[in-house]
Structure 1
Amino acid sequence: MKIRRILATAVAVAVTTPAVMLSVTPAFADTKPDTKPAAQTPAKPSVEELEKAVAEAKKAYDAVFAAEKTAYAAVEAAVSDTAPLNVAAKAARQAADDAAAAKSTADEAVTVAQAALDALDEDAAEADRTAAEKALADAKTAAATATTTATTAEAEATAARKLATDAKVAAFTALSKAQDATKEALAAVTAAEAALERAKKEEENQGDGDGDGDGDGEEGECIDEPGLTTVVKGLPSKVTAGTATTFSVRVTNGTDKHLDQVITYAAVHATDKSGAKDIAKYLKLTWSTASSPKWRNVGGDHYIDDAIGALKPGEKADVKLRLDVDAKTPAGQGLTFVAGDYLNEDGTCGLTPDAAVDTFDIEAAPGKPAPKPTPKPSTSTTAPTAGNGVTPQGSGTSVPATTTNSTLAATGSSDATTQLALASGAAVALGAGAMFLVRRRKTGADA
């Protein structure tokens, strides 16, 4: 009996942009009988139509990614020390500070003049008293003028700072929208590719007696088994280069049947901050169990065959996983994919309908400055066929760079650009990471 797993990259991307999937629903139509009247059932796209859709989706992605780079440059300009509004705000702030200092000096002169007048004796010469009174009046006049000037200068400084802040907020908002558009466009590309791959596979399967595409005419493809579940516990939302993190996977047989051999699938994927560079080579997964405490490498096919064995109905088993992050790992985003299969002695087999997808941020090792992100367009050229879903169970997802007025008010230099994470990297990681799942014991691989 063959074991096969086909998970849709499009569904994996939908973890971040679920709305996009609504536009490609016909391409991922359920294979169950349709109860709607024939006139209401949309025609299934042809391979040629899907190829055209992929080309159009890639063209749209290139356009929105270019717009994202433009928006990124606008943010850099908005937070630069040399930005006209920032220069004006700085000058206005200096003028307000100078006016405040002049007001303080004028107020002090009033105090001195008042003290000089108060110090005169009752028998002081009239000319001296007149002079002291005039000095006090002049000081008060100067103080009033300085107060007006300081008030005006402070108002102008506040207005100038608001203009500069508003410009930064507008630039960050535009970048966030551009990043969202890039994610959606990338999801559309991946979804279209997945639909195309499925359509091609369906064409290949025509004429194959069992419909599994291997030409052997065998019956009994492995089934989805909702009762077999995997839950990831203890994976943090952030990991640091040069450290090891231990977490666990609980596999539960929630069915009413005995499973002779339960196999765990575990894979890890990662990209740098831009999402364009695969950095999975710096990450390593090992596993152990209570009965086999020595840490062992997860194989190249991502299967852990010997960790669990048989599970009775309702029985659970825990597998420990350790994620080693090399000290040279750059900052980025990572994902783990965990699922389960079973194979019985009578040849029947099944698999978890969903994979547990956990996301986490990767921080560079202390003392090593993170490289400045440089966005580069990157789309998947090979996508898996659509089938089952991917269920996110992690807690550390990456989000588009956002900010608030209070944050921007304190941002006066280009140093702020280091805080701009390209959210498209998360979408790329999800799309490319799901490729690992497609490689799960493809049709034709012996169990």
Structure 2
Amino acid sequence: MKIRRILATAVAAAVTTPVVLLSVTPAFADDKPAAQTQSKPSVAELEKAAAAAQAVYDDAVAAVESAKAALEALDTDASPLKVAYDAAKAVAAEAATTKTAADQAVLDAQAAVDALPETATEEEKTAAAEALTEAQAAAKTADEAKTTADTKATDALDAWDDARVEAARAIGTAQEAAKKALADKTAADEALAKAKEEEAEGGGEDETCVPEAKLTTVVTGLPSTVVAGTKTDFKLRVTNGTTKTMDEVYPFAYVHATDKSGLKDLDDLVHLQWSSASSSTWQNVDNENYMDRISPLKAGAHADIKMRLTIDAKAPAGNGVTFVAGDYWNDNGTCGGSPDLEGYEFMIAAAGSKPGNVPDAEPSSKPNSGLTPQTGASATPAGGTLASTGSSDATSQLALASGAALAIGAGAVFVVRRRKAGTHA
């Protein structure tokens, strides 16, 4: 099952304060705005991209193996750096032996001097003193030679160790490059597979989806003024006002905000989350994905979804609107959804503001489903349950595009939705 939505948003500045946000929603539009037209890559182009990504990945894997081999080579007996270290170490060991012998010769010469009897001749005393002097000079030379040999051995070991560290880092760098190349290859393969699937299905374009005014989405509990730096919980109720069960219903939500001038986009500072009535886990609404499906939603039944709006403390005073809608898909291939995106406007008050008691946000146009509200509103959906884990299988097929335009004299939000339906798996 594939349902795609393209949402084109145009934000205008008003000459009055506050800015009035108006939702104009031609549903199931046949023509995509010219500003949103994009060239879609062909299967042949995607095949070339996938082949190129595969080649890059193969090279990256080879680079990892080469880096590993370079590290292993450094530890072999034939490694020039290891050979140099072994030779320097041997020289240092020999120098140490020589120094030890020279030091002992000094001790022996000193003992000979000390052992001279009082009756020793001057010649004997002179010979013993000269022997001591020569031994001390030899010991000094041996000590200097050992110091030099030790330094060379240390330098050779450092050079070998540094090379091994660099080789290990090279492996890490090559592995990171291979990881990125694999991600790119996977994305390219998936894009190609998706394009081939759509091509086999005739392009995925299906105009059999119809507007269904009796599939309503209503927000309750969203204040008309929200203070920056706070979280606000409210509820989204999706109701099937028809006489037939809808096998799968996909709720949709989108939040947009600007400063008071209407010129500065605040979308990065407003965050929308949702949770099923039976779960305490909050999931982000990222303006690209529907929420998890309600499956099924029986005739006359409704399902409640917990919503949470968070506005960053650094957000300036401004204006916002939360759009909601719903789409359905039946096992027999029929599909459709809300004719409009219903907008609920709210003011953003600066952090620390005390707005007091404020009324709830009102919809831009109050829907009339022709239903008598069900009694005993429950925390769990009536006749339908939200999928408990993960996103729906349609999630990866959903897309959102947004743009901004300036109009003099009034602020307006223009929402255009296109639904595309392919085969239902």
TM-score range, shorter chain: 0.3 to 0.5
RCO higher in structure (CA 8 A, sep ≥6): 2
TM-score (norm 2): 0.46
**Greater share of residues in helix:** 1
